[in-house]
Structure 1
């Protein structure tokens, strides 16, 4: 593993700190790092899953195509995120496609090493159980997002999901993402994403920064419901009209 790969890997793998020295040595020896250009497939539906996959840097989306030809995006995976443990445990094929949205450095831990760690490391078992639990909650939340009519809510909830401290520990409070990339994850146009971000920014739920988005409180963003804001603003508008008529 190259020095840059080692640095990115250790920053993206807090679970490594819980491993024994011999286990870390095995991971360092077996891990392969590959660079994927924008639009390149990291994993393809129907292919046998042979690695536990981690995003060291960059951004990828997890999606599939329905029988009607509609692309369904399940989630984005930000730096520090690892995925595929469920598929590996079932010794199954990928049920979805994973596409790089930008140039991304991807860590590929062989399935053999993954199962070797499961057999000998209690700490690694805890990591995988937590991953599965948090991932289930995330996908349930995604189903709710898909039923939301408001674009502002879709942007808010999709963005909040990328600030998950367990699934994406490398993000912190700042996610490097463009409005176009966020649009791919939300299934919205860049223009609509821009409008939603401006609105959410005006409510103090996020800050637009050069090259990314800062979210000081992901829980507040996750709890956002545009209908409540719209009702509140409508009520204020009615109140202003009533006061004007009364005057």
Structure 2
């Protein structure tokens, strides 16, 4: 029996109204973007795209939670980052015209926005404001990946979970998140490369430290800077 994904119907225009970069476009630029973009609903657990796929679209998260990851030659899954409401992915690969370097999986039922490569490149040629957004986005992404290398190699599991959660609250990479995040312990484990049980232990440690509050199916961030700097 086919699974039905229950997500409120929203127009492309309404979706774009919530994006940081779309607000800076001219009316003519925005009209073209609205006409050429489309949305797609992805079931939780399904692949959004695979490593090695040609990169034909810039992808944004209207609602949902995605994980960027790859599998090492030894068969170990390496999680790079989570993408939540307002986040966009694939800008670097579009610029370099190279195959995708990572898998993207929906951790829950999600609705995504797709901008064709031709539209993306046209905006680069015609909008200084869009270019400025991308420069900031790429810079934030680089800083995130540098920190990921650090905490993957140097930090204990509690600190890795703390840094992983903190990374979700980047105002440029995931601007649609408030301080209360609807996320399960299993999803936290998926994003941080830990088991559900180990993620649960880490969340308890972080809650006792006064950095967050854990409720059923959600986490409220109390001290974002503390999460970013947490060491076991």
**TM-score, structure 1 as length reference:** 0.87
* Aligned: 1:6 with 2:13: yes
Give the match for residue 208 of structure 1. Answer: 214
How far does residue 180 in structure 1 lie from its aligned partner after superposition? Answer: 0.2
- Per-residue deviation, residues 40-87 of structure 1 (Å, max 9, x unmatched): 111111111000111111101001111111111111111110011100
* Aligned: 1:169 with 2:175: yes
* Contact preservation (8 Å) 1:61, 1:100: yes
* Aligned: 1:63 with 2:69: yes
* Contact preservation (8 Å) 1:158, 1:186: yes
How far does residue 187 in structure 1 lie from its aligned partner after superposition? Answer: 1.4
How far does residue 221 in structure 1 lie from its aligned partner after superposition? Answer: 0.7
* Contact preservation (8 Å) 2:185, 2:217: no
Q: Match for 1:107 among 113, 118, 122? A: 113
Which structure 1 segments of 5+ residues have no match?
227-247
**TM-score, structure 2 as length reference:** 0.93
* Aligned: 1:54 with 2:57: no
Give the match for residue 42 of structure 2. Answer: 36
* Aligned: 1:87 with 2:93: yes
Q: CA RMSD in A?
A: 1.3
Displaced runs of 4+ in structure 1, greater than 3 A? Answer: 2-6
* Contact preservation (8 Å) 2:59, 2:115: yes
How far does residue 176 in structure 1 lie from its aligned partner after superposition? Answer: 1.4
**Distance in 2 between the 1:213 and 1:188 partners?**
17
* More helix per residue: 1
Give the match for residue 119 of structure 1. Answer: 125
**Distance in 2 between the 1:23 and 1:80 partners?**
20
How far does residue 211 in structure 1 lie from its aligned partner after superposition? Answer: 2.6
Larger Rg: 1
Give the match for residue 45 of structure 1. Answer: 51
* Contact preservation (8 Å) 1:205, 1:220: yes
- Per-residue deviation, residues 149-198 of structure 1 (Å, max 9, x unmatched): 41110110011000111111000212211100110111111111111111
How many residue pairs match? The answer is 224
Find the residue that maps to 1:213 and give its secondary structure.
strand
**Distance in 2 between the 1:198 and 1:5 partners?**
40
**Distance in 1 between the 2:179 and 2:222 partners?**
6
